[in-house]
Structure 1
């Protein structure tokens, strides 16, 4: 079994040995056993926190490089007009604290993608979206506190003081 222990820069000159295709629910885990696209057994032994993204590279303890691929999985894609309708739909879906992917297709149509959920789908329709249920990679936005496409812990304090001697904590 290959032990995948280190995230590496995607600009590496090392050749990719194999690809590990995983759905989103497994790409959020730092520890798991899996089988690569070419049938190699691997174990992930990574730090918790950052989600594995489509195209990320991992190095095995024995030196091989493995590429991560986002698997096709059931998704709902909501197509909606750019501008205020898109912003409104993003706001309302995001306010539900669900993971969302946001993009534009080859025809220039704007979309928001999320795991199938009848409540979210009804909301999207009410806000003017046209829905498609299909299989596609799900690689949602990293979130407000991500840096360079990676989630990071939100470790800084939100406390601040004013000259009048009192403080605020968020």
Structure 2
């Protein structure tokens, strides 16, 4: 049997998810790939084969070479919701998280990070309120991520870690 390949990602807002033939539920690591063999939740197998490492977002479509589309679903994972007494304190916490090179999902109300006991203790020591939650995790993309999508960036991928872009 010939492998099905997926070489195109359809952003969540650009296609109708009702047309998906299958779905694939992945955590953050599983959604951050360039080339990988997947088995979708309904059993459909395919090889993701992209030009560069890409973060697949919840609701994106993976377009197979035969035209069918597989829905990407972000799997819930163990996270910590970090909050603070005010915006200034939250910004300072974001700086400390970024200074430790941690992927972070940012909003004006909270910062989501992966659960890590050492980091949680550090954040509490800095005055943060922390709550363990289970939710999908989609950390911020760096400034260079958009250039990658346009094939105009350097050959190595970048990831945003709360305030800093880093090549990996």
Q: TM-score, normalised by structure 1?
A: 0.76
Select which of 34, 40, 43 maps to 1:36.
40
Q: Is the 8 A contact 1:30 1:49 kept in 2?
A: yes
Query: In the TM superposition, what are the counterparts of 1:123-138 in structure 2 within 5 Å?
Result: 123-138=122-137
| Partners of 2:147 and 2:153 within 8 A in 1 | no
Confirm or deny: 8 A CA contact 1:54 1:68 kept in the other structure.
yes
**Deviation, structure 1 residue 98:** 1.0
User: Pairwise CA RMSD of aligned residues?
Assistant: 2.5
**1:69-115 deviation digits (Å, cap 9, x = unpaired):** 111111122122341011001111011111001136xxxxx211111
- Structure 1 position 33, deviation (Å): 1.9
Greater fraction helix: 2
* 1:154 positional shift: 4.6
Q: Name the SS of the counterpart of 2:14 in structure 1.
A: coil
Distance 1:113 1:152 in 2: 29
Structure 1 unmatched runs, 5+: 105-109, 156-170
Q: 1:150 to 1:5 in 2, by over 3 A?
A: closer
| Matches of 2:129 and 2:150, distance apart in 1 | 30
Q: What is the rounded CA distance, in whole Å, between the counterparts of 2:151 and 2:97 in structure 1?
A: 22
The structure 1 segments of at least 4 consecutive aligned residues displaced by more than 3 Å after TM superposition are 148-155
Task: Specify the SS of the correspondent of 1:74.
Answer: strand
* C-alpha contact (below 8 Å) 1:8/1:57 kept by paired residues: yes
Q: Point out the more displaced range, 88-97 or 69-78.
A: 69-78
Tell me the TM-score normalised to structure 2 length: 0.77
1:131-167 residue CA offsets vs partner (Å, 9 max, x unmatched): 2223211100002323299697753xxxxxxxxxxxx
What corresponds to 1:8 in structure 2? Answer: 10
